[in-house]
């Protein structure tokens, strides 16, 4: 899989690239590249934004600048791009990411993520140059970089070989294996700490009972059936 992140702060991803599952995915041939729209800006001082029409606070990322950045990266008219690959604007008001969408994105050969900053995108970027707009939750961050890392993290860990144990990504919260529900609780040693005992069934060695207990605990935690 090839992921391009368009960001004014490429260095923000240095830490992320060093995380084990990301390193594993990259070693397997997957790609995570950052593209800085400033590099292709032809405006004075490589500017990327301007004040909003209609007034108001903050600066808005310009559509001509984002178009030039997409053209420089992929060639052709960026308007055609969303037909060839998912181009996703990160916006607080977009469709909220969930496990099913992360799985769908993990099945794509190519992804483009656009990080906003300041007041956000000129709406024509989202309308004409993107296939989707994605929110990581109903709150507002200062920029799209953390949101892009959330998307990349959720997607990359679904790729075979990126996690140490392949089964870790199969039966976990919100997965089809748990019918979209939160995962059951986990415990490790010591079995008794300050009188807080691990449930007996987990120490029983009885695999069928353990499976049934886990299913029941996951159901008790609620959430939707998928």
Ligand X SMILES: C[S@@+](CC[C@H](N)C(=O)[O-])C[C@H]1O[C@@H](n2cnc3c(N)ncnc32)[C@H](O)[C@@H]1O
Q: Which residue among 18, 54, 139, 167 contacts ligand X (CB under 6 A)?
A: 139
57: contact with ligand X by CB under 6 A: no
Given 120, 154, 181, 214, the residue binding ligand X (CB under 6 A): 120
**65 touching ligand X, by CB under 6 A:** no
Q: Is 2 helix (H, G, I), strand (E, B) or coil?
A: strand
Name which of 25 and 126 has its Cβ closer to ligand X. Answer: 126
Q: Does 115 bind ligand X (CB under 6 A)?
A: yes
Q: Tokens at residue 147, please?
A: 């949101």
Tell whether residue 62 is a contact of ligand X (CB under 6 A): no
Interaction between residue 37 and ligand X (CB under 6 A): no
- Which is nearer to ligand X, 115 or 178 (by Cβ)? 115
What contacts 186, CB < 8 A, 6 or more positions away? none
- Interacting positions 92-111 with ligand X (CB under 6 A): 92-93
140 binds ligand X (CB under 6 A): yes
Q: Which two structure tokens, joined as six digits, stand for 134? A: 């994605």
Nearer to ligand X, 78 or 184 (CB): 78
d(CA 40, CA 61): 14
Exactly one of 52, 82, 143, 182 binds ligand X (CB under 6 A); that residue is 143
Q: Is 53 in the site for ligand X (CB under 6 A)?
A: no
**Residue 116 interacts with ligand X (CB under 6 A)?**
yes
Q: What is the DSSP letter of 84?
A: H
**Does residue 135 touch ligand X according to CB under 6 A?**
yes
By the rule CB under 6 A, 212 interacts with ligand X: no
Written in H, E and C, the secondary structure of 3-46 is: EEEECCCHHHHHHHHCCHHHHHHHHCCCEEEEECHHHHCCCHHH
Residue 133, C-beta contacts closer than 8 angstroms, at least 6 positions apart: 88, 89, 90, 91, 93, 94, 95, 126
Cβ closest to ligand X, residue 116 vs residue 218? 116
Nearest one of 146, 153, 81 to 117, comparing CA atoms: 146
Residue number with the smallest Cβ distance to ligand X: 116
What are the residues whose beta carbons fall under 8 Å from the beta carbon of 17, sequence distance 6 or more? 23, 26, 32
Residue 5's nearest CA partner among 172, 165, 123, 117 is 117
- Interface with ligand X (CB under 6 A): 90-93, 115-117, 119-121, 135-137, 139-144, 147
């Amino acid at each position: 899989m090839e992921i391009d992140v368009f960001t004014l702060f490429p260095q923000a991803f240095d830490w992320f690239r060093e995380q084990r599952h990301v390193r594993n995915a990259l070693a397997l041939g997957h790609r995570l590249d950052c593209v800085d729209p400033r590099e292709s800006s032809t405006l004075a001082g490589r500017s990327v934004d301007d004040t909003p029409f209609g007034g108001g606070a903050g600066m808005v990322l310009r559509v001509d600048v984002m178009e030039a950045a997409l053209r420089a990266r992929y060639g052709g008219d960026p308007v055609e791009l969303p037909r060839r690959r998912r181009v996703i604007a990160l916006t607080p008001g977009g469709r909220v990411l969930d496990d099913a969408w992360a799985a769908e994105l993990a099945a794509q050969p190519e992804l483009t993520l656009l990080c906003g900053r300041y007041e956000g995108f000129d709406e024509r970027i989202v309308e004409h140059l993107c296939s989707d707009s994605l929110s990581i939750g109903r709150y507002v961050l200062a920029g799209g970089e953390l949101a892009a890392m959330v998307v990349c993290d959720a997607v990359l860990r679904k790729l075979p070989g990126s996690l140490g144990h392949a089964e870790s990504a199969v039966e976990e919260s919100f997965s089809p294996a748990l019918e979209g529900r939160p995962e059951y609780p986990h415990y490790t040693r010591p079995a008794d700490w300050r009188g807080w005992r691990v449930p007996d069934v987990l120490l029983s060695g009885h695999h069928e009972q353990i499976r049934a207990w886990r299913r029941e605990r996951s159901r008790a935690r609620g959430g939707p059936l998928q």
